[in-house]
Chain A
């Protein structure tokens, strides 16, 4: 388990324990955290699980795979620290990870 902190656009903190091996997207969906749509269900095909990763954490994440940046082109207001949360797999190293959820997904 790792603690993941989701901050929604209205500045609410949602801290949940997510099982290692699940994605940050699945952690949000299973815990009913608003703002992550994940329309395609984790297939890296829709860009509706877009999050902004806290700057302290962004460089600690495993690098993006081919295709993630392409999908981020379509995300709502992408920034330098944008990631698709379906592509971030929770591990012990990510305990305390902070992600911000954009105001909308599309």
Chain B
């Protein structure tokens, strides 16, 4: 069981800055995120897109913003728990017991949800019966590529993941690459490589096709793919891989007894606390009159939620407001010299 003063759910810009604010006022915190990397939507959706409305930063990309925030919290050595999705939040006396999908547990008086629009999950096939094969012969990510050796693998998608795996797996497997249009959106070198491998017969390429059905009893046997002009082909295959990117799902948050309206959590604007004492929501996921879904709003919300956490984490102490420019205690926490 991990004990901490505050647990932050979500490692996007709002979660990162909230962590900064907590540590600055002398509280301990840890961060959980379902993605395997830090940065949230900034990293997953628009790492290369410039942002123009971060105060005092005329222009930066999602990736640069994330890197700067990570640098800003470096002095604090904050513990991250990545690739962990929080599934359960339950009350236990004055604390919340938080459990992740991989069995990690936390005990904390404060839970701060900085979850954007929820957790990122792979987009799935819509075809009937696909669920039956999921995690066995139908996969949305690859943990161990050796299982595909000498097997037939059908890869769906048109981005870098689909292309990279098609190239890689074509070395030891029979690969079908299926995509809904002729154009791919990956790196040019990889696209060229795929076409080259297609010409030499190492990859069977089917463009303007999508999956229409999947067949097999216990083991996957074959799939049918259908083109825009209703042409149908049957492909024998041992594995199906789908690479359609990620989608945000509110997921388990819906079951924590919070007031939720249109995928957002209602909070007050003094503490950014939800209807549950000790659970706060900040950033895109919170909702209050006048809410703006801007990164700068998330920073403000996190700063106030962090102060609210103090009371529950240090019930016998009084929080004292201090500036970073003048406080010796804050400078000590940052590891910088006082004047």
- Residues of chain B lying within 8 A (CB to CB) of residue A43: 45-46, 49
A45 within 8 A of B: yes
The A-contacting residues of B in range 84-130, CB under 8 angstroms, are 117, 123, 126
Number of interface residues of A (CB under 8 A): 20
Query: Are B228 and A45 in contact, with the CB atoms below 8 A?
Result: no
- Residues of chain A lying within 8 A (CB to CB) of residue B49: 43, 45
Given the complex of chains A and B, what is the CA–CA distance between A40 and B45 in angstroms? 9
Query: Are B159 and A73 in contact, with the CB atoms below 8 A?
Result: yes
B183 within 8 A of A: yes
B251 within 8 A of A: no
- Residues of chain B lying within 8 A (CB to CB) of residue A37: 263
Given the complex of chains A and B, what is the CA–CA distance between A20 and B123 in angstroms? 33
Give B181's nearest chain A residue, CB to CB.
A69
Q: How far is the CB of B166 from chain A (nearest CB, A)?
A: 15
A1 within 8 A of B: no
Number of interface residues of B (CB under 8 A): 24
Query: Are B123 and A70 in contact, with the CB atoms below 8 A?
Result: no
Query: Are A76 and B126 in contact, with the CB atoms below 8 A?
Result: yes
Give A76's nearest chain B residue, CB to CB.
B126
- Residues of chain A lying within 8 A (CB to CB) of residue B180: 73, 78
Give B45's nearest chain A residue, CB to CB.
A45
B41 within 8 A of A: yes
Q: Is the interface of B mostly helix, strand, loop or mixed?
A: loop
| Of the residues B181, B183, B247, contact of A106 by C-beta under 8 Å | B247
Q: How far is the CB of A23 from chain B (nearest CB, A)?
A: 16
Query: Are A74 and B123 in contact, with the CB atoms below 8 A?
Result: yes
- Residues of chain B lying within 8 A (CB to CB) of residue A48: 247-248
- Residues of chain A lying within 8 A (CB to CB) of residue B123: 74, 76, 106
Q: How far is the CB of A87 from chain B (nearest CB, A)?
A: 15
Q: How far is the CB of A52 from chain B (nearest CB, A)?
A: 13
Query: Are B247 and A41 in contact, with the CB atoms below 8 A?
Result: no
B158 within 8 A of A: yes
Given the complex of chains A and B, what is the CA–CA distance between A77 and B130 in angstroms? 14
The A-contacting residues of B in range 123-172, CB under 8 angstroms, are 123, 126, 157-159
Whether A74 touches B244, Cβ cut-off 8 Å, given contacts A39-B117, A40-B45, A69-B181, is: yes
Query: Are B46 and A45 in contact, with the CB atoms below 8 A?
Result: yes
A5 within 8 A of B: no
Given the complex of chains A and B, what is the CA–CA distance between A37 and B46 in angstroms? 18
Q: How far is the CB of A34 from chain B (nearest CB, A)?
A: 10
Given the complex of chains A and B, what is the CA–CA distance between A69 and B185 in angstroms? 9
Given the complex of chains A and B, what is the CA–CA distance between A23 and B286 in angstroms? 24
Given the complex of chains A and B, what is the CA–CA distance between A32 and B180 in angstroms? 31
The B-contacting residues of A in range 23-80, CB under 8 angstroms, are 37, 39-41, 43, 45-48, 69-70, 73-74, 76-80
Binding site for A on B (CB under 8 A): 41, 45-46, 49, 117, 123, 126, 157-159, 179-181, 183, 185, 210, 228, 244-245, 247-249, 263, 293
Binding site for B on A (CB under 8 A): 37, 39-41, 43, 45-48, 69-70, 73-74, 76-80, 105-106
Question: Would you list 8 pairs from A and B whose C-beta atoms are within 8 A, ordered by A residue?
Answer: A43-B49, A45-B46, A47-B245, A47-B247, A69-B181, A78-B180, A79-B228, A106-B247
